[in-house]
Amino acid sequence: MRCAACGVDNRAGVRFCEECGARLEALCPACGASVPPGKKFCGACGAAFGPAARSADTPGDRFATPKAYTPAHLAERILKDRTALSGERKQVTVLFADVSGFTSLSEKLDPEDVHALINRAFELMLAEIHHYEGTVNQFLGDGLMALFGAPIAHEDHAQRAAHAALATQQALARYRDDLQGTRGIDFRLRMGLNTGLVVVGAIGDNLRMDYTAVGDTTNTAARVQQLAEPGRIAVAEATQRLIAPYFETRALGAIPLKGKSQPVAAYELVRAREGVTRLEARAARGLSPLVGRDDALATLERAWAQARSGRGQAVFVVGDAGIGKSRLLLEFRRRLGDAATWVEGDCISFGQSIPFLPIVQMLKQNFGIEARDAEAQIIARVQRGLAFMGEEAANIAPYLRYLLSVDPGDPGVASLDPLLRRARIVAAIQGLAATGRRRRPAVLVVEDAHWIDSASEDFLTSLTESLPGMAVLLIVTYRPIYAQPFGDRTYYWRIGLHPVDEEAAVRIVRATLGVADLPRELAATIAAKAEGNPFFLEEIGRTLVETGAVRTEDGHLVLAKAASTITVPDTVQDVIAARLDRLAEPEKRTVQTASVIGREFARSLLRRVSELHDRLEQSLGELKRIELIYEKAGFGDVEYVFRHALTQDVAYASLLQSERRRLHALIGAAIEELYAGRLEERAEELAYHFSRGEVRDKVVQYARAAAEKATALFVDAKAVEFYELVLDALGRLPETAETARLGIDIRLAMRAPLWRSGRLDPLFERFKEAEALATRYDETERLDTIYAFLVQYYWAKGQQDQAIEYGKRCLATAEARGDLGLRVTGHFYLAHAYQALGQFPPAIEHSREILVLLEGGKEGERFGLSGLPYSGACATAAEALAELGDTHGALELVRRGERAAEAADHLYSRMVLAVAHGSFLAREGAPAEAIAVLEPAVQTCREKNFVGQLMRGLTRLGHAYALAGRPEEGIPLVREAAALQEKAGAFVNRALWLSILGEVYLGAGRLDDAETTARQALGFAERHGERWVEGWTKLVLGQVALARGDRRGAAEHLDETQEIAEELGMRPLLERCRAELAKLR
């Protein structure tokens, strides 16, 4: 017989395990519950044993339907919740098992013999699978498929599956030995496990469950099973990650899977690790610092101060899964050190049918009993541990030994009435606690009491009543779902653990990732998702690394993926999903429907889309009671918010995609009805729901409105996101001339947010798409606008000849058509192109043309550009005038541009002017004034993600720092600008910024860096025809040569600089050059 405690096989007829001394009991073949010898029916599920049971069904009937082989208590749970479970996506662990060499076996034996052998194997397998509340969904001839986590959800489904596999392996090993000895048959089973998503379909009256694997969940389990040796268990990497702290595994290598670019790692499941708690499992991966729990620790210390003086106390630590109950006790234990005897026992999710489970663990710790101790050793340890009690030991030892599954030494104990025996066991344990703690104060800990068995609960109830006279601190931890039955006493303390604050959350994630800081966007996203739950924070942090969402560069964390794409880790999802599945059907449906609305939801909106009708209020009340949702304070419509963002995520993920689409469409329509007069302010919400509900025409309407709002508010990333939604919806509608025109207009509208955020290549792609549509539908005017915008693109790419060609074509068309907007656009970009080439007079001329066209009432119009053309023209002309030496004229233009930008309240245009102003202040030798203008401008550009202006501002501020004698502060700024420009794929001004970086290096005395960078700048300037930048760069090279004492080289560079300055009329450059030449005389 197999020992339920240690799993070792024992000889027939023995009453106690020969390996660990545990009392041997049979297991019910239907549900796996322990059954005392001689019983005819299972006390857990009612299944009959012996000949009567076997005659009730033929072998074929036994496995005909799930109802025939599923224990009554499991069947009842499945049927009770089948409606709520149908049509859900669930995270499960799949177990595949089959008989090795079945074909060969079938050829050697009579078919009836084969059938009998397989049926007996199935019975053994079912007993173990059902013991851990798995469900067998299919019999596959010589094998079966079982699911753990569906239809009955468990947060530890992977562990349950692993335990069931090992127990099945042991049961079949005994069966194989029997067959080998009696019939010479080598009967071996291979098993494979994998964890992943499945879609639960309809569950019939016969318990048959339809399901569909998501991805390759079941396929991987089947492939991994094939990798297992006969008699062995293989697990896929997804399962191994979840069970690794609790089980020993051995790497088997990787298996290629169809449809996957990378092979999947597989492992052999070897054995369970003894006595590993969940906290120890987490500690194996590294524990984050305990933060935000000072008050809780202080409470524990006050309770301990009273308990150790002989006035026993009880502390109940209450909190959600992952909130840090065990972590708090670990810290408290560390603080106590050797001041107390610390004994603890853990309740486990599948241990409620095991009497006194945590108490047995505590007794084993108290007596120093080890997992491999034989019966005689256990008895000896108990006797030594009770020696201090003298004669009293003889009264309690038999009951403690019986509880520890060894010979009690008193034959009368086993024959006692079970209820009387249980009462005496409780009294014996309590007597030990009371007597022993008079010798040394003790801390008794029972963890996870929400999973406690009834016998242990009875013991704790009795113990709490006797605490005042004992030097004992009893600590019980549990989740809020547990209604503790211990009453209320003056010596009780309650610690309710709440989520940690954002600062503490960031500390936990930093410690988990091993970094000193976190990007702000990442910190905010994690804090919002985890809602201050330490376990969730740790798991999200680890998932970021495992999925490649973050990486470390120079000791700093860098986002490799958008923070918004962070997914719920499997470990966290399992905890939350199990809690949701414990809800009654109406409450679960309410949570799922609300999750589609969003983190916050109005009662009126939920009522319109919910199918619960009159039951809805009751469901909301229950969800508030158990703190899954909160009611928001305020006036008007009642609103609710999910307590945890992750709860919303998991509830939403559980819905089928078809159901999500249906609900999103319903919600969008309901919002239109509820807020008919205020749809513009709800545009983003409507775009979100209709896009996910795939109501295309509504997506076009509302996503466009949302994009235009975001563009006006300079929320450029959101604007692009909404415009992309419009294009996606248009792409799924039949193409007509009308949809083509709209597609062109949307792509042109994307120019402003894409340009401001420095995304040049996507901008060009959208322009080319618009050009193709305009050409196909002969949209001449729109085509001209596209060509005008392409001037800007070619300018940014440093292709000024093409920019000027397109600009001149644009102006000619505008003149012919009398199109003011096209004229403004043409002049605007031609001015930029000429300035990039250092042809300052035509740059000033085209800028002034814009001022003439727009003065008198149109200064605040944008004409589809990122900023105001009027203010932008002032900035361009001002910089050109400054290069020519007309500082007064430049300053006057800046002031004119500022007045227009302020009147229109256009922040982006104000930043354009600020950067231009700061740049010529620095050139004019006023670095302090330049810094005063540029520092706030750079800060604003960084906050608003004005990437183009940020690059310009960083460069000019770095230059000003260098001129002010602070070059080391300037170097990182200019290098950052260069990196941003390279990322954007832009080339305009790259030569200028490299030239400035060379000058800043020179100011820092880094002559080699200065020369290398300046020569890079010179190469860029020569390739792109930027002769004016050549002049500034040769000045830097001349200064470097002069600093090295190379007078000949310095003279050569400075002579060339003077020639360029005189050619282009650049007075400031000429003055700087002559000052350096004077040093050579």
CATH number at residue 1049: 1.25.40.10
Give the up-direction half-sphere exposure of residue 663: CA atoms within 13 A in the CB hemisphere: 23
Question: Is there a domain that residue 706 lies in?
Answer: no
What pLDDT digit, counting tens, does each position of 658-693 carry? 899 999 999 999 999 998 888 988 999 999 999 999
Residue 322: the pLDDT is 85
Closest CA to 85 of 200, 249, 257: 200
Residue 1060: the pLDDT is 96
Residue 6: the pLDDT is 45
The token duo for 553 is 């560069």
- 632 shares a domain with 484: no
- 66 shares a domain with 39: no
Which of 657, 674, 691 is the last residue in one of the domains? Answer: 674
Residue 574: the pLDDT is 81
pTM: 0.64
Question: Is there a domain that residue 192 lies in?
Answer: yes
Question: Is there a domain that residue 612 lies in?
Answer: yes
- 331 shares a domain with 223: no
- 211 shares a domain with 323: no
The token duo for 392 is 């009293």
What CATH code is carried by the domain that includes residue 186? Answer: 3.30.70.1230
The token duo for 954 is 């960083």
- 307 shares a domain with 159: no
| Rounded-to-integer distance, Cα 1024 and Cα 799, Å | 7
- 315 shares a domain with 297: yes
% pLDDT > 90, the chain: 45
Average pLDDT over residues 451-472: 90
Which of 244, 272, 300 is the last residue in one of the domains? Answer: 272
- 125 shares a domain with 207: yes
Residue 751: the pLDDT is 87
- 177 shares a domain with 239: yes
Secondary structure (3-state) at 966: coil
The CA-based angle 913-918-919, given to 5 degrees, is 100
Query: In angstroms, what is the C-alpha Rg of the chain?
Result: 38
Give the up-direction half-sphere exposure of residue 886: CA atoms within 13 A in the CB hemisphere: 15
Question: Is there a domain that residue 701 lies in?
Answer: no
**Secondary structure of 407-472 in HEC code, one letter for each residue:** CCCCHHHHHCCHHHHHHHHHHHHHHHHHHHCCCCCEEEEEECHHHCCHHHHHHHHHHHHHHHHCCE
Question: Is there a domain that residue 821 lies in?
Answer: no
Question: Is there a domain that residue 142 lies in?
Answer: yes
pLDDT band at 306 (very low <50, low <70, confident <90, very high): very high
Question: Is there a domain that residue 917 lies in?
Answer: no
- 208 shares a domain with 92: yes
- 662 shares a domain with 647: yes
Secondary structure (3-state) at 481: coil
- DSSP bridge pairs for 2: 9
- Into how many domains does the chain fold? 6
What CATH code is carried by the domain that includes residue 451? Answer: 3.40.50.300
- 358 shares a domain with 336: yes
| Rounded-to-integer distance, Cα 657 and Cα 672, Å | 23
- Beta strands 135-139 and 188-203, pairing class: unpaired
Residue 980: the pLDDT is 87
Q: How far is CA 598 from CA 562, 589, 593, 633, 646, in A?
A: 20, 15, 9, 18, 12
Residue 32: the pLDDT is 43
What pLDDT digit, counting tens, does each position of 869-907 carry? 999 999 999 999 999 999 999 999 999 999 999 999 999
Question: Is there a domain that residue 344 lies in?
Answer: yes
Which domain covers residue 487, as residue numbers?
A: 289-496
What pLDDT digit, counting tens, does each position of 948-1005 carry? 899 999 999 999 999 999 999 999 999 999 888 888 777 788 899 999 999 999 999 9
Look at residue 615 and tell me whether its pLDDT is greater than 50: yes
Phi, psi of 92 (to 5 degrees): -135, 165
- 368 shares a domain with 323: yes
Residue 70: the pLDDT is 60
Residue 645: the pLDDT is 80
pLDDT band at 27 (very low <50, low <70, confident <90, very high): very low
